[in-house]
Amino acid sequence: MKCILSCALGLGLLLGYSAPLALAGRTQGAQAEDKTPPSYDMKAQAAVDLQQLQQKFVDLAGAIPQDKYTWRPTPGVRSIAELLLHVSAANYNIPNMMGTPLPAGFDPKTFEKSTTDKAQIVAALNKSFTSAIAMVQGMTNADFAKLEPKLGPQANEGDVIYILVTHAHEHLGQAIANARANGITPPWTAAAEKKNPQAPKE
C-alpha cells in the first residue's frame, strides 16, 4: 500500500477533517519497492476486523443509556449519538471512494445529526457494518492491488480498506472513552473482569 497518505488526505476532505498527523508527516521520498506477496489473506483479515468492530460498537451502543446519547465531552465535539452515526456514515463514504454506491436515501451531509434515538442508531451501525463487510467479502485479494488513480497516482483499493478499518478502530477508542466518562464499562471488559478480576481493562 504505497499511497495511504493520498487516500487519507482524500478521506479527510470527504469526512471533513485532516489526515492523521502520523500520515500527514510522512515524506514522499524514495521507498523500497517490496514485491513480496502478502503472507496472509488481506480480504479475510479485513472482514474479521470489521466483524469484531461491529460487535463492539453495537454492544457498547447498547450499554449506553438513551439519556447519554446527547452527551458530549466538550462543546463543539461530537456527541455520543453523532460519533456513532459518524462511524456508520464512514462505512458507506469510505467504500464510495472506490465506487461502491451509497445506499438510497443516505445523505452524508446530514446523517451524523439525523437522530439521537438509540434504537435507530444501533440499527444504523448494524446496517452500515453489514454493508461494509459484504463489500469486502465481494472483493478478491487481487482487488486490493487494483489502482484507484482518482485517489492518487499510486492509490489502490487496499489503501481504502485499510482506512476503513483504522477509521473505525480510531473511533472505537473514542467511544470507549466517552462511555467510561459516563461510568459505563464496555461489555466485553465487564465480561473479562467477571472471569478474571486482574484482566487488563479497556
Percent of the chain past pLDDT 70, that is, above it, reads: 78
Element (H, E) at 44: helix 42-63
User: Which of 10-19, 64-73, 171-180 has the lowest average pLDDT?
Assistant: 10-19
Q: 147 φ, ψ to 5°?
A: -70, 145
Q: What is the 3-state secondary structure (H, E, C) of 147-176?
A: ECHHHCCCCEHHHHHHHHHHHHHHHHHHHH
Nearest-angstrom CA–CA distance, 159 and 162: 5
User: Which of 7-11, 112-116, 121-125, 192-196 has the lowest average pLDDT?
Assistant: 7-11
Give 80-100 pLDDT, tens digit per residue. 999 999 999 999 999 999 999
The ranges assigned to domains in the chain are 45-185
Domain 45-185 carries which CATH code? 1.20.120.450
Using 50, 70 and 90 to split pLDDT, how confident is the model at 197? confident
Give 25-37 pLDDT, tens digit per residue. 333 444 556 666 6
Percent of the chain past pLDDT 90, that is, above it, reads: 70
Q: Which residue type is seen at 106?
A: F
Nearest-angstrom CA–CA distance, 157 and 147: 6
Mean pLDDT throughout 172-181?
A: 98
Mean pLDDT throughout 43-52?
A: 96
Cell digits of residue 59? 454492544
201 vs 9, more confident: 201
Residue 93 burial class via C-beta count within 10 angstroms: exposed 0-12, middle 13-18, buried 19 and up: buried
